[in-house]
Each structure stands twice: as structure tokens, then as C-alpha cells.
Amino acid sequence: MSSPIHYTTCPACDSSDIRPILASKDYTVSQKTFEIWECGRCTIRFTQDVPQQDDIAAYYQSENYISHSNTSKGLVNRLYLRVRTRNLKSKRKLVQSYCNAESMPRLLDVGCGIGSFMDHMRQHGWLVEGVEPSETARKNAVKQYGLFVYPSEKFFDPTLGSFDIITMWHVLEHVHLLHEYMDRLKELLRPQGALFIAVPNYTSYDAAKYKEHWAAYDVPRHLYHFSPESMRLLIEKHGMKLRTIKPMWYDSFYVSMLSEKHKTGKESVLKGGIMGSLSNLNTLFHKDQCSSLIYVIGK
């Protein structure tokens, strides 16, 4: 195993104005604690001393990692699966509202997991392709939906073509090659296309309340922790335009329920639900403070 990555400058803007903010625990696999640092220039936060790209797969090896396994183990995961159908419909309507293709639009889902979103879009007439680094998730995509999913190396293959819509639902925070991915996303996007990047928002109400127990820090799998300002600067750095920001209302509940479990050691739908409701209520007055945000991006 290689030495972990220790940043001496910001991984997003290369500023040397970085400092530790808090330490959070890996509740899913290793139970290890990792420091989270913040950049004083662009405001991104990042996990310090993360495993190298070739070593991090071990931190995804858990039956509780729902995007790879589709597990219904535990009350929170069962609720997540029940809500997912409604969430998929909401994502589809959002994506369709920004699609300018006249017929058979082409969509790429980056980090597609087991392919739930791909399958939903395929059922509504879309040509879908997906890339996913996890072999387990790719096998589950075949088993669950009959979908062939490319390994992540395909993302940089020049034969991949171009797309009307590209989606990254909670994926950008996982990729080691942050700037390479942003440049490639721009290359793959058609001139009138739209890119959707959904990431957790550490400036949210629930993040401030749960602090180091906030489930969306998810160290060390989440390499970066974005604020709206850091995302705006990253998008501009790579020559793209931020068109709008949309809240992900359901994430506030799911993240709060997991956070409550991390903090107390017990599942509590009631307490997590109350905190999720308070977070969403706060978002009505501060639109960029939802637990997770979707950034709609164009060329």
C-alpha cells in the first residue's frame, strides 16, 4: 500500500492557505479518524491523508454501502430505497427541462453505481451509458437491470463520443483526478448540453449541527467537501458556466438520519427526520444551504 496523500496546497485552487478544521470518523468500514482541512481562498474542504487511488477500494467494501449493493439492511437504508423511486422521477424531470435534443437524447451517468438512474431514464426513451469504478456495482447493474456499465477507464476513452446530458450524482467528491475529470466533462458535453453535478454541502444547517458526525463527510471516500463558493470557482476555473443551483430535498432527511446514528450509535428516524425538516426549512430562506445541492452547468 502506498503512502497516503498529504496535501500541502489546496487540491482545488493550489493555495497554500489551508488549515485543519475538524476530524471525522469512517463509520462505514475502517473506524479510522481522518482530519478535514479547509482552504482559506476558495473555501473547499478536503480530507487529509486519504488513500491513493489504487488503495481506496478497500474503503468501499461494505454491504452497507448502498449505491454499490442496493442493500435494505437497516431502517435508514430501507427508507432510502422507498424514497428512491420518487427521487429518480424528480431527477428525470429536472434533466429533461434542460435537454435541447430533438429526439433520442444521449445521456452519460458518471459513477452510476448499480445503474438505477440509467434504468429509469432508459425506460423513458433515453439512450444511456454509464461508467463506474466498482466491479461489484457493475455486476449488480447487470443482475438488477440488465445494464452493461463501463469501467471508469472508459471515461477518458476518445471513442466515447459526446452527450446531451451528463450527470454525476454524488460522485465528484469521490474522484482523485478532480481537475482531469472537470476538463473531460467539458470535452464530452455537447455545445447546448447540460452537466448536472450533485454534491453534499458542508455549509448546510444539518452539517453545522452535526459537525464531525455529519454523515456526508463520509471520510475517506469523500475526498472533497464542497461549498457553493468552491463549486462556483471550480466550474469557472475549467471554463464552464454555472447556470443554476437546485436543492436535493430528500438528502437532508437521509443524511440527518445517518448523522444521528453516527452521533448516538442508534438509529432514530424521528430525530433525524426533525433535523432534516429543520434543514429544509432553513433552505427556504437560504437557498444555497440545503444538505445537498445540484449544480446545473453549461459550456
Give me the CATH number covering residue 246: 3.40.50.150
238, part of any domain: yes
Strands (E) across 65-202 are located at: 106-110, 127-131, 163-169, 189-200
Please give the Cα distance from 63 to 29 (Å, whole number): 10
**Count of domains in the chain?**
1
13, part of any domain: no
Please give the Cα distance from 233 to 12 (Å, whole number): 9
Residue 105, preceding peptide bond in cis (omega within 30° of 0): no
54, part of any domain: no
Please give the Cα distance from 217 to 220 (Å, whole number): 8
49-72 pLDDT per residue, tens: 999 999 999 999 876 554 544 554
Mean pLDDT of successive 10-residue stretches along the chain, which has 299 residues:
95 98 96 98 98 94 59 54 79 95 90 96 96 94 96 96 97 98 98 97 98 98 98 98 96 93 90 93 94 97
State phi, psi for 103 to the nearest 5 degrees. Answer: -155, 150
234, part of any domain: yes
168, part of any domain: yes
Please give the Cα distance from 223 to 176 (Å, whole number): 7
**What is the residue range of 163's domain?**
71-209+227-298
Question: For residue 82, what pLDDT is reported?
Answer: 66
- Contact assessment for residue 166 and residue 108, using Cβ atoms and an 8 Å cutoff: yes
Please give the Cα distance from 204 to 47 (Å, whole number): 18
38, part of any domain: no
228-245 pLDDT per residue, tens: 999 999 999 999 999 999
C-alpha cell of residue 263: 452521533
Question: For residue 268, what pLDDT is reported?
Answer: 83
15, part of any domain: no
115, part of any domain: yes
DSSP states of 208-240: HHHGGG-GGG-TTT--EEB-HHHHHHHHHHTT-
To 10 degrees, what angle do helices 269-285 and 249-264 make?
140
